[in-house]
Amino acid sequence: MATKTISSIYKKTSGVFLVPEYYKNFSCKGKDCRNTCCSGWQVLIPMKEYYKIHGLECKKSVRERIDKTFKPLASRTESRFAEIAFDFEGKCKMLTDEGYCFLHQSCGETVLPSVCRYFPRGPRIDYAWECSTSNSCEKTLELLYESNDPIRFEQRDLTFEMEIPANKPKDSDKEMYISVRENCIEILQDRSMSLPDRIVAIGHYLQKLDMNPKALPDRFLEGFAFRQDIVSSIKVARELGDWFIHNTGSLEEYFIIVDNLYDDLDISTIYKQSKTHFEAILPNHEILFEKTLVNNIFFRQFPFQDYTDNFKDEFIALCGKYLIMRYLTIGLMTKYKSKNDFIDIIARIFRTIAHTGFEKNVMIRLKQKGYHLVSTLGELIQL
């Protein structure tokens, strides 16, 4: 029996989207991907997508695989209705030995759940029409790191079948979003300052915005004089790592490896040795971190994310994210020697950021530890 085509359950949305320049060169690596998105994380689908897939008229072999793969949750809602089941190796049961999707091969792209059809792309049509790809995808990082040039953006005609947001922001909020996000990216890409100082400059700007939504960033952007206290920064990162191990487990292996690195010897000495090794492998590391953060800011619509009531808390989360990136990569790269190893680490970190409430949790933990002022956070991220 041939598969019968089923019409889309979403409205086709076409228009001009703002995208990073690398977007036009993105394509899935398929079987060549070292960190496939078809394994290692929970993927949830809404009720209407679940019933669409189970309503397919298809061959018996496809039906059997569908029944094994898409499982309703014990506690489910309309938007979080079912999950994609894994095999004993933690891979999606639709994943073929060649690294491709059996459902896609058998029935075509249109029948896939939207998360599978579009990830790592993230189309947005609420505050602005934008699309980029996630740092949790190694292909995205490879494109980002091809050159040392800052990320540039362009407009492209794109079409997506997607759910239209129920609540549309006011025009004034849209204007503010575009202005604030552009200013944050401009600050992050100002290489006249160190990256930690640029992050601090964003903190000062967002602090002003919480008091006055029409505030503009300071244009002097002079270097900030922050004391570097490696021992304190490492201590906080280790404590954050311990919390994430016991509450999410997603980065358990990474946190344990780096924690053990600092167990027996002088922390400052170990850090300096690790950083020297890190910088020898990746002499442009600050540019790599800059481009990683800029891409994430664009993808996540920073600082208009949905887990805080103010810009200050989102700045705290940004500092926590940068601290953990530096702590883990500098420590883990003592065991590795290539840019691909760095890419694998960053992709794994951003998987956790995307799927575990990482940003909200790291923000809460830092506030509990007394890190809520721009000044104290500025010292913390001098790692």
- List own/partner pairs for 174-180 with CB under 8 A and 24 or more apart: 174/127, 174/128, 176/213, 177/127, 177/128, 177/301, 177/304, 178/127, 178/128, 180/209, 180/303, 180/304, 180/311
- Looking at 103, 132, 162, the residue that finishes a domain is 162
Q: How far apart are CA 264 and CA 222, in angstroms?
A: 39
Query: Tokens standing for 184?
Result: 């944050």
Q: Is residue 3 part of a domain?
A: no
β-pairing, 82-84 vs 70-72, is antiparallel
Q: Is residue 5 part of a domain?
A: no
Q: Is residue 1 part of a domain?
A: no
Query: Following CA atoms 273, 274, 279, 281 in sequence, which dihedral angle do they give, to the nearest 10 degrees?
Result: 110
In this structure, the answer to whether residues 250 and 372 fall within a common structural domain is yes
Q: What is the pLDDT of residues 338-361, one digit of tens each?
A: 999 999 999 999 988 887 888 999
In this structure, the answer to whether residues 248 and 277 fall within a common structural domain is yes
Residue 210 belongs to what domain range?
171-380
- Looking at 102, 132, 162, the residue that finishes a domain is 162
What pLDDT was estimated at residue 219? 54
Alpha helices in the chain, H assignment, sequence order: 47-54, 60-69, 102-107, 114-118, 138-144, 171-188, 195-211, 230-247, 252-261, 267-281, 285-300, 311-332, 339-355, 358-368, 374-380
Q: Is residue 88 part of a domain?
A: yes
What pLDDT was estimated at residue 4? 47
Question: Residues 286, 195: contact at Cβ < 8 Å?
Answer: yes
Q: Is residue 6 part of a domain?
A: no
Tally of domains in the chain: 2
In this structure, the answer to whether residues 31 and 95 fall within a common structural domain is yes
State the residue for tokens 């494109």: 143
- Looking at 162, 181, 207, the residue that finishes a domain is 162
Cis amide bond preceding 303, omega within 30: yes
Question: Residues 237, 230: contact at Cβ < 8 Å?
Answer: no
In this structure, the answer to whether residues 360 and 296 fall within a common structural domain is yes
What pLDDT was estimated at residue 2? 43
Q: Is residue 2 part of a domain?
A: no
In this structure, the answer to whether residues 217 and 273 fall within a common structural domain is yes
With a cut of 70, which residues of the chain have pLDDT below it?
A: 1-9, 219-224, 249, 307-308
What pLDDT was estimated at residue 362? 93
In this structure, the answer to whether residues 344 and 224 fall within a common structural domain is yes
Query: Tokens standing for 186?
Result: 């401009």
pTM of the model: 0.89
In this structure, the answer to whether residues 310 and 223 fall within a common structural domain is yes
What pLDDT was estimated at residue 318? 96
In this structure, the answer to whether residues 190 and 143 fall within a common structural domain is no
Q: What is the pLDDT of residues 256-308, one digit of tens each?
A: 999 999 987 799 999 999 999 999 999 999 999 999 999 999 999 999 977 66
What pLDDT was estimated at residue 60? 86
In this structure, the answer to whether residues 125 and 254 fall within a common structural domain is no
In this structure, the answer to whether residues 178 and 158 fall within a common structural domain is no
Name 53's Cβ contacts closer than 8 Å, sequence gap at least 6.
66, 70, 103, 111, 113
What pLDDT was estimated at residue 378? 93
What pLDDT was estimated at residue 236? 95
Q: Count Cβ atoms below 10 Å from residue 162 Cβ, excluding itself.
A: 17
In this structure, the answer to whether residues 199 and 347 fall within a common structural domain is yes
In this structure, the answer to whether residues 230 and 153 fall within a common structural domain is no
- List own/partner pairs for 82-85 with CB under 8 A and 24 or more apart: 82/44, 82/45, 82/47, 82/50, 83/42, 83/43, 83/44, 83/45, 84/42, 84/43, 84/45, 84/113
